Chain A
């Protein structure tokens, strides 16, 4: 890395899916890299099954904690509909990582709205320029690693393959953020996320 790293990462999903912990992990990664970092979270009412977003900005200096439209290098979406909702944040040439999970919102279960079909292929087809969409069943991979709760770390593992950040830094961050009994599961989840990108795309 001759030029200091600068990354805007939006973590989006449904309240309770683990975006807060993923944000804390990324913040720790930035800290270990010696970068400035801001992690902006959502607490309170929006957590109750609503749409949630955690913004992570790391660079030599970070002022605003918010990622503006067309400013995100990465969007990690823990759910398909949320990928569609927040896609406007992605910049041309950015990457959208989608967990293949559909959680119908209240508006759909009450029949007020329909859950859009084929979200991932739509996002893939309509991506402009060099923007890329990756989708995979992160929850299944997390389950296989030992707990569906590690879905967030699978997503981070996948993203790590698309950055120049040394995977050892992520490993160190996992050790710092998680208590000992959860570390093994999360290292495994991180690795399977990293592998899924290796198997699904060519560099």
Chain B
């Protein structure tokens, strides 16, 4: 069902932006893709894995992913690494210096920003990386452009001897639009030739390479200004009264809100075809830049001495919309709604919650009971910060919990370590937590780290990882042993516990925080949404109405399968119940029982 539907008699397919990028990589003859999952970029690599001629893998983190792709490029094949915006922070180290060495086979780095923060911890604008690392950056405006620009990016990567960035936003990644696919090209691997001056970046070589990349950038600027870079921009000339400079999803809002305006649409958002833009700006009475997030283009345009309007009209936050543009350009627009919303009862919020049977919930209920300070991390379990568990004090970035717990320990002369823990998922631990754990042990920490091992990368839609025993194709792979890894690092005290057993969790955490050394608790239970974590249907929970006192202690754990009925008795939805039996453990009256016990 996830495969793109083929339409008999029609050559158009309906593809997500992410699916179209995977298709573009296939058509461009890409040989290697190495990525770490991250919403909204994940489906690119998921879909690329369906093309047998592309080697794909889940890397342990984005830095590793980019380095693998770089190595593949060095070896002469076309290669790609895909990540979310904050993933590019992790991969920034290889990114900046790969700009100096350039490439052998084409190298494209896809980065997906998340304006509006649908599923992210910040709203950073990755376009700044293009300027900082002196790399060209494409930005598509629909799925067809996703495919076309991916192909284009590989061609330009080889032509200009540079890695190329392809920037997406959530709305581009996760919108299906019509795509006419092309034929895959044969892309023979380029020969690898040893070239120390190009690829070994020591000061003596890097000084010379810096001159080369400045030369590359000025050549690219000349070519852009002469209109020689295919796909860099398109101009639609209409009204002389209003001209808009835009790119990406903002272009779609402009197109709909301002059908009469002249539009300068950027495909390449860095570097900019400044002289072409200067001429366009001079040809219109009013020149406005429409871009989501930071005034990135606006700053460049103003630095070039071109007068324009931009962020003074719009906002730095969130996604743009047709409504926002109408507010600025057509304030007289009158809506004809079906409802006067001020007359409707306000709808109570519906925040996301942990799923029925989620293995994280029991552990967080234990943390709630112990009233500990919890250094949190990135994953489904970040929901532990919200009701009903309210058991997280900080969440910063991937892998940060372990270092934060060590910092809390040292700043209070080990006092707070008795009242605090770090919680981190298995995939996040392997991503960057493991290096922090090495640091904690080496530097005499007395902190406690709880690894929430649900044997999958859950949040992004169930990708395998080094500890799950399966590869990207769900084929058997070497299974990393978390306990052995922690022992090898030097952790002397390691516990394993079932996170659904609240009492056992409380006991083991109490004991662990008291120990004057680094302690690791592995809370092991598979994610309830996929095998083997899905509960048996015959074991779903049943209610004994005679024993139920309607105290609603079970309702308060906020399991999606448990609803309070109008008569006050809990109602169990057997379609949703995953038979984790967490509710049976909070019932003091034995009114809830698993199928086998009932």
Q: Is B97 an interface residue (CB 8 A)?
A: no
B338, B386, B555: which contacts A131 (Cβ < 8 A)? Answer: B338
Q: Considering the complex, which residues of chain B in the window 293-336 have a beta carbon less than 8 Å from any beta carbon of chain A?
A: 321-323, 335-336
Q: Is B1 an interface residue (CB 8 A)?
A: yes
Are A69 and B323 touching (Cβ within 8 A)?
yes
Q: Is A185 an interface residue (CB 8 A)?
A: no
Contacts of B16 in A (CB 8 A): 41
Q: Is A145 an interface residue (CB 8 A)?
A: no
Contacts of B407 in A (CB 8 A): none
Are A40 and B175 touching (Cβ within 8 A)?
yes
Q: B580 CB to closest chain A CB, in angstroms?
A: 15
A36, A41, A69, A179: which contacts B1 (Cβ < 8 A)? Answer: A179
Q: Considering the complex, which residues of chain A in the window 75-103 have a beta carbon less than 8 Å from any beta carbon of chain B?
A: 81-82, 84-85, 87-88, 90-94, 96, 103
Interface flags for A93-133 (1: CB within 8 Å of B; 0: not) read: 11010000001111111101111100100110011110100
Are B348 and A107 touching (Cβ within 8 A)?
yes
Q: Apart from A43-B174, A49-B355, what are 10 other A-B pairs with CB-CB below 8 Å?
A: A24-B176, A38-B142, A47-B352, A64-B252, A64-B253, A91-B338, A106-B558, A109-B555, A123-B339, A179-B1
Q: Is B567 an interface residue (CB 8 A)?
A: no
Are B7 and A32 touching (Cβ within 8 A)?
yes
A49, A66, A82: which contacts B353 (Cβ < 8 A)? Answer: A49
Question: Interface residues of B toward A: which range?
Answer: 35 or more
Chain B residue with Cβ nearest A117: B345
Q: A18 CB to closest chain B CB, in angstroms?
A: 12
Contacts of A28 in B (CB 8 A): 5, 7, 14
- Interface hub of B353, B560, B563 (most chain A Cβ within 10 A): B560
Are A14 and B563 touching (Cβ within 8 A)?
no
Taken together as a complex, chains A and B put the C-alpha atoms of A126 and B40 apart, in Å, by 38
Taken together as a complex, chains A and B put the C-alpha atoms of A36 and B564 apart, in Å, by 45
Interfacial residues, chain A to chain B (CB-CB below 8 A): 14-15, 21, 23-24, 27-28, 31-32, 34, 36-51, 62-66, 68-70, 81-82, 84-85, 87-88, 90-94, 96, 103-110, 112-116, 119, 122-123, 126-129, 131, 148, 176-179
Contacts of B256 in A (CB 8 A): 63-64
Closest 10 CB pairs of A and B: A44-B119, A113-B348, A50-B352, A44-B39, A70-B337, A105-B350, A131-B338, A90-B338, A63-B256, A85-B347
Q: Given contacts A32-B10, A40-B171, A108-B348, are A46 and B119 in contact (CB under 8 A)? A: yes
Q: Given contacts A31-B10, A69-B323, A116-B345, are A46 and B352 in contact (CB under 8 A)? A: yes
Taken together as a complex, chains A and B put the C-alpha atoms of A48 and B345 apart, in Å, by 25
Taken together as a complex, chains A and B put the C-alpha atoms of A104 and B556 apart, in Å, by 12
Are B354 and A41 touching (Cβ within 8 A)?
no
Taken together as a complex, chains A and B put the C-alpha atoms of A141 and B24 apart, in Å, by 42
Taken together as a complex, chains A and B put the C-alpha atoms of A68 and B344 apart, in Å, by 18
Q: Given contacts A39-B14, A63-B252, are A128 and B338 in contact (CB under 8 A)? A: yes
Contacts of B39 in A (CB 8 A): 43-45
Taken together as a complex, chains A and B put the C-alpha atoms of A48 and B351 apart, in Å, by 9
Q: Is B503 an interface residue (CB 8 A)?
A: no
Q: Considering the complex, which residues of chain B in the window 223-262 have a beta carbon less than 8 Å from any beta carbon of chain A?
A: 252-253, 255-256
Q: Given contacts A37-B177, A37-B178, A92-B337, are A126 and B459 in contact (CB under 8 A)? A: no
Contacts of B347 in A (CB 8 A): 81-82, 84-85, 116
Chain B residue with Cβ nearest A85: B347
Are A126 and B350 touching (Cβ within 8 A)?
no
Contacts of B597 in A (CB 8 A): none
Contacts of B555 in A (CB 8 A): 109
Contacts of A85 in B (CB 8 A): 347, 350
- Interface hub of B253, B344, B564 (most chain A Cβ within 10 A): B344
Are B14 and A37 touching (Cβ within 8 A)?
yes
Taken together as a complex, chains A and B put the C-alpha atoms of A86 and B142 apart, in Å, by 26
Are B459 and A45 touching (Cβ within 8 A)?
yes
Q: Dominant SS at the A interface?
A: mixed
Are A49 and B560 touching (Cβ within 8 A)?
yes
Q: A174 CB to closest chain B CB, in angstroms?
A: 11
Q: A117 CB to closest chain B CB, in angstroms?
A: 9
- Interface hub of A49, A50, A108, A179 (most chain B Cβ within 10 A): A49
Q: B538 CB to closest chain A CB, in angstroms?
A: 18
Q: Given contacts A63-B255, A87-B339, A109-B563, are A50 and B350 in contact (CB under 8 A)? A: yes
Q: Given contacts A92-B337, A94-B338, are A107 and B351 in contact (CB under 8 A)? A: yes
Chain A residue with Cβ nearest B323: A68
Q: A108 CB to closest chain B CB, in angstroms?
A: 6
Q: A52 CB to closest chain B CB, in angstroms?
A: 9
B12, B176, B341, B345: which contacts A41 (Cβ < 8 A)? Answer: B176
Are A48 and B380 touching (Cβ within 8 A)?
yes
Q: Is B118 an interface residue (CB 8 A)?
A: yes
Are A88 and B341 touching (Cβ within 8 A)?
yes
Q: Is B436 an interface residue (CB 8 A)?
A: no
Q: B38 CB to closest chain A CB, in angstroms?
A: 9
Q: B596 CB to closest chain A CB, in angstroms?
A: 24
Are B351 and A105 touching (Cβ within 8 A)?
yes
Q: Is B460 an interface residue (CB 8 A)?
A: yes
Sampled A-B contacts (16; CB under 8 Å): A37-B177, A39-B177, A44-B40, A64-B321, A64-B322, A66-B171, A87-B339, A87-B344, A90-B339, A92-B337, A105-B350, A106-B387, A110-B388, A119-B345, A126-B340, A126-B343
